[in-house]
Amino acid sequence: MAEEHMALYRRWRSQRFSEVIGQEHVVKTLQNVVRNKKLLAHAYLFCGPKGTGKTSVARIFAKALNCLEGPSDEPCNRCANCLKITEGNSLDVMEIDAASHTSVEMVREHIIDKVNFAPIEGKFKIYLIDEVHKLSNHSFNALLKTLEEPPSHVIFILATTHPHELLPTILSRCQRFDFRRISQQDIMRRLRMVCQEEGYAIEEGALGIIAQASDGALRDALVVLEQSFSFSEGEVTTAQVASLLGLTEESLLFTFSQLIGEAKVSAVLQLLDKLVRDGKDMLQFVHELIEHYRRLLIVKVSKEAPLILEIAEDGYERLQKNAGIYEPGDILRIIKILSDLMVEMKDATCERVLLEVALIKMSTKRLDPSLSALKQRLDSLEKRIFDEKGELKEKASPPEVKQEVSPAAEAPKEAPPPPEEKKDSHEGHGGGLWEHWPRILQAVKNEKMPLYAVLVDTKPRLAEGDRVIIGVKKGFNFHKEQVETHRALIGSIISKFLHRPISVEAGGIEGEDGQGELFNDDYAEEHRKFVKDVMDVFGGRII
């Protein structure tokens, strides 16, 4: 007779407390209970995520209590009672699936009517009710009295993934044990051991993908591992496991984030097109991209990232390098875009279009109209233009006085003395206009940005007494009108630097009214560069 096949997760189900992984807090407490019967309760609640060992621990606990060589903190797994519980044939351990037995009749027939009968083979009669949250309220109410005051030989073990759905009256009568998700490192160690015992070859990267995809459930990891062995004819590779699970290869996620960070929109869209042609599920891809950016964010903001993410040193270094092209704010903005995209895609018929639009927004900040993107663009612009003290990084150099010689002169003549500069008559009280002009422009920018954009194309001409002339190029009528319109504002700002009341008027530049200019074109060019940067970042134009 052929040997009966048993699934991998059933063959490798924990049979002793020492084999349970990731639930040390539960195991230690239950072992203490078995050693000291005075600590034994009449009802236990095992709750936690699927595949974390709730049912397995309940069976081990039952074996430890009814073991013929015990009670012992480790069942022998050799005696008749241990073997029957392992095989599910024990008359004293009743396993009830509440998902398929929800009625009051079931509770009455299987529990209430039989609970008073003494155990037949062991010392305790144990009721293991799995998925107990599936019981109806009427069933809970019928069970309540028995659960509160059962016979001394009866122990209830309730298991559920949804403890919040249980009635408070049920919760109050049980000792609660919360099972945790099993760490990726623990799952990988168990999978590695299973592969060695089963004689299978698998790449380390494939084990990592399985452990990560299982989301802390060892049972799910063993199911995928067995499926991977069936999928592969030889050694199980990382690419094969990723294909089996419908996942994007990790290298592609790094490539996507690299291209997005470098604003290479065309390359991003080409890579997406390849994924679509390969039949990749778009919603799953977005989920993986969110998880990848989560990892980048944690690497960016926490020194404990390797511990939090449960990654090896080489994986951490790779994430660090990938995260280096981003600021934390950039990653937060991208995660927000992707999260909103997931909601939109669930009910959409044009998934690819939505994903392409999102990737373009992620790659090009100025195409993202959100407030967070606007703030990042302003912060980026300030870093490019101003230093830590809030001043322009590159200041204009003082103008050089140039002397021109008439080409018609036949013999060199003595150069005429340079024209006397008209200086501020109150220079001792704050310096001249030309010395304060960069800071005056900065003050105007803080007060009224559009006016600042006008003034960078003008030149201060004269500061004499309480009169200041601002030179405007010929034909720049709009600039002249703006200076005249905002004379009061400009005057009040200049007054703060020259320490006296100032009257402002617009005039022509050199050659228009005979007045010399105080600043050369290099000075204005610095401020034109600032305006150009503003337009580049925000996609604007001068009107």
Q: Please write the tens of the pLDDT for every residue from 209-255.
A: 898 888 889 999 999 998 888 877 778 888 888 888 877 778 889 99
| Residues facing residue 202 across a β-bridge | 236
Residue type at 262? E
**413 pLDDT more than 50:** no
Average pLDDT, the chain: 80
**178 pLDDT more than 90:** yes
pLDDT digits (tens, 9 = 90+) for 97-153: 887 766 677 777 777 777 888 888 888 999 898 888 888 788 887 888 788 888 888
Cα separation, 542 vs 457, whole angstroms:
12
| Residues facing residue 95 across a β-bridge | 128
- Closest by alpha carbon to 431, among 344, 348, 500? 500
What pTM does this model have?
A: 0.60
> Pick the residue with more confidence: 369 or 315?
315
Tell me the average pLDDT across 258-287: 90
In this prediction, residue 471 carries a pLDDT of 84
- Closest by alpha carbon to 216, among 47, 49, 56? 49
In this prediction, residue 111 carries a pLDDT of 79
**Percent with pLDDT over 90 in the chain:** 23
Pair type for strands 459-464 and 467-472: antiparallel
* Confidence bin at 2 (pLDDT 50/70/90): very low
Using the structure block, give the residue that is written with the tokens 């009257």. Answer: 503
**Three-state secondary structure along 183-197?**
CHHHHHHHHHHHHHH
* Confidence bin at 481 (pLDDT 50/70/90): confident
**291 pLDDT more than 80:** yes
* Confidence bin at 314 (pLDDT 50/70/90): confident
Cα separation, 153 vs 150, whole angstroms:
8
- Closest by alpha carbon to 262, among 320, 349, 330? 330
**410 pLDDT more than 50:** no
Tokens linked to 281: 């599920």
Element (H, E) at 52: none
In this prediction, residue 428 carries a pLDDT of 36
* Confidence bin at 170 (pLDDT 50/70/90): confident
Does residue 71 have a cis peptide bond before it, meaning omega lies within 30 degrees of 0? yes
260 with 334: CB under 8 angstroms?
yes
> Pick the residue with more confidence: 6 or 208?
208
pLDDT digits (tens, 9 = 90+) for 387-399: 655 556 654 444 4
495 with 520: CB under 8 angstroms?
no
**512 pLDDT more than 70:** no
Sheet with 459-464, side-by-side order of all strands = 459-464, 467-472, 503-508
> Helix (H, G, I), strand (E, B), or coil: what is residue 471?
strand
Tell me the average pLDDT across 168-185: 90
Sheet with 125-130, side-by-side order of all strands = 93-97, 125-130, 154-160, 43-47, 175-178
Tell me the average pLDDT across 67-93: 87
- CA-only gyration radius of the chain, Å: 39
> Pick the residue with more confidence: 342 or 348?
342
In this prediction, residue 102 carries a pLDDT of 67
- Which range of 45-59, 360-374, 520-534 scores highest in mean pLDDT? It is 45-59
**359 pLDDT more than 50:** yes
